[in-house]
């Protein structure tokens, strides 16, 4: 079975030796020996990666069955097909090819204050956490927000009990109003049948989603809550592990209460 990504597949790229910055690209063309990728772009700054021939890149993409493929390839040459692209090696020819089965993450309720900063204009919001998983989180506010689906923000919050501080880039995947708070929290604490998609799966959904959702604020005496669902992007592994440990702890505590 071929593991070569199809034309149009989204890929993530890092410079070898630099784990901080992740760039996004897309498979522009494929031949028998090579992939041709659009010039990688940083998702937050919008800056193109200054690619050099023979520069080693770490490339990854989400294949079928929620399997992530990662490999290293040098930039073989720059091409025009007709747009600018870079030529790299195929994953099945790489000596360091990794296959990682992505797990889905359980959501659990979270009582924390979350500081949200828009990467576009630097505007800040203070919101209340609703739930969290290893793949993302939901927050709510009665403030009027000017954010939209697909916007990038930075979320900063502290996990209860461990007092572990997390600051993570996020992508907004949904905004909506008039959330039934009790129902939302009950669903978040229900581990079975209510799993949060990992960030790569969320990105796949967003490729399909065409309509932006911007909340509207009705004139009423009762404050209207807006709920913002976000997918984590470029999260550090230690931060993700802390969140996963927190969700496991909450699930064990809930099971003890159920019994």
CB 230 within 8 A of CB 171: yes
Answer yes or no: do 152 and 237 share one domain.
yes
Cα torsion at 209, 176, 148, 172 (round to 10°)? -70
Please state, rounded to an integer, the average pLDDT across all residues of the chain: 80
Domain identity same for 15 and 74? yes
Q: Are residues 110 and 202 in the same domain?
A: yes
Assess if residue 159 is contained within a domain.
yes
Instruction: Note whether residue 162 is domain-resident.
Output: yes
Task: Out of 42, 66, 101, pick the residue that ends a domain.
Answer: 101
Most confident of 137-141, 208-212, 236-240: 137-141
A 10 A CB-CB count for 29 gives: 14
Note whether 112 and 216 are same-domain residues. yes
**pTM > 0.75: yes or no:** no
* Residue range 39-68: mean pLDDT, rounded: 87
Residue 165 has pLDDT above 90, yes or no: yes
What is the spatial distance between Cα 26 and Cα 214, in angstroms, rounded to a whole number?
Answer: 27
Give a yes or no: residue 153 inside a domain: yes
User: Which of 38, 66, 101 represents a domain boundary (last residue)?
Assistant: 101
Q: What is the pLDDT confidence band of residue 35, given thresholds at 50, 70 and 90?
A: very high
In angstroms, the Cα distances linking 90 to 28, 99, 101, 148, 250 are 13, 14, 20, 36, 42
State the pLDDT confidence band at 256, using cuts at 50, 70 and 90. Answer: low
Least confident of 45-54, 137-146, 215-224: 215-224
pLDDT at 202 over 50: no
Looking at the fold, whether 162 and 243 belong to one and the same domain comes out as yes
Same domain, 95 and 113: no
Q: Are residues 178 and 222 in the same domain?
A: yes
Residue 4 lies in a domain: no
CA angle 68, 157, 246 (to 5 degrees): 60
Whether residues 116 and 22 fall in one domain: no
**Are residues 143 and 254 located together in one domain of the fold?**
yes
Structural domain boundaries enclosing 25: 10-101
In this predicted structure, what is the pLDDT of residue 65? Answer: 63
Total structural domains within the chain? 2
Residue 234 lies in a domain: yes
Same domain, 71 and 135: no
3-class DSSP string for 203-229: HHHHHHCCCCCCCCCCCCCCCCCEEEE
Q: Tell me the mean pLDDT in the region 178-201.
A: 38
Is there a domain that residue 253 lies in?
yes
Q: Are residues 233 and 119 in the same domain?
A: yes
From 83, 101, 119, give the residue that closes a domain: 101
Residue 213 in this model has a pLDDT that exceeds 60: no
**What pLDDT digit, counting tens, does each position of 89-124 carry?**
999 888 889 887 665 667 889 999 999 999 999 999
Rounded Cα gap, residues 21 and 40, in angstroms: 11
Confidence at 142, pLDDT banded by 50, 70, 90: very high
For 109, how many CA atoms within 13 A lie in the half-sphere containing its CB?
A: 13
């Amino acid at each position: 079975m071929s593991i070569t990504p199809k034309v149009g597949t989204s890929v993530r790229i890092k410079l070898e030796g630099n784990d901080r910055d992740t760039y996004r690209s897309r498979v522009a063309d494929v031949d028998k020996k090579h992939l041709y990728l659009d010039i990688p772009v940083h998702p937050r700054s919008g800056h193109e990666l200054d690619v050099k021939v023979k520069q080693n890149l770490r490339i990854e993409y989400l294949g079928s069955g929620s399997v992530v493929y990662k490999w290293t390839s040098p930039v073989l040459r720059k091409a025009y097909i007709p747009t600018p692209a870079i030529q790299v090696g195929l994953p099945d020819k790489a000596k360091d090819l990794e296959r990682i089965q992505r797990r889905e993450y359980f959501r659990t309720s979270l009582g924390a204050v979350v500081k949200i900063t828009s990467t576009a204009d630097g505007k800040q919001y203070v919101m209340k956490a609703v739930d969290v998983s290893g793949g993302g989180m939901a927050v709510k506010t009665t403030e009027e927000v000017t954010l939209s689906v697909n916007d990038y923000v930075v979320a900063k919050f502290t996990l209860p009990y461990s007092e572990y501080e997390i600051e993570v880039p996020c992508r907004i995947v949904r905004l909506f109003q008039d959330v039934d708070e009790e129902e939302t929290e009950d669903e978040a604490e229900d581990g079975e049948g209510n799993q949060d998609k990992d960030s790569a799966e969320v990105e796949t959904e967003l490729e399909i989603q065409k309509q932006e959702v911007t909340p509207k604020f009705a004139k009423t005496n009762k404050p209207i809550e807006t709920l913002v669902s976000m997918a984590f992007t470029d999260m550090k592994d230690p931060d993700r592990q802390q969140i996963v440990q927190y969700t496991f702890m909450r699930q064990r505590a809930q099971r003890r209460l159920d019994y």
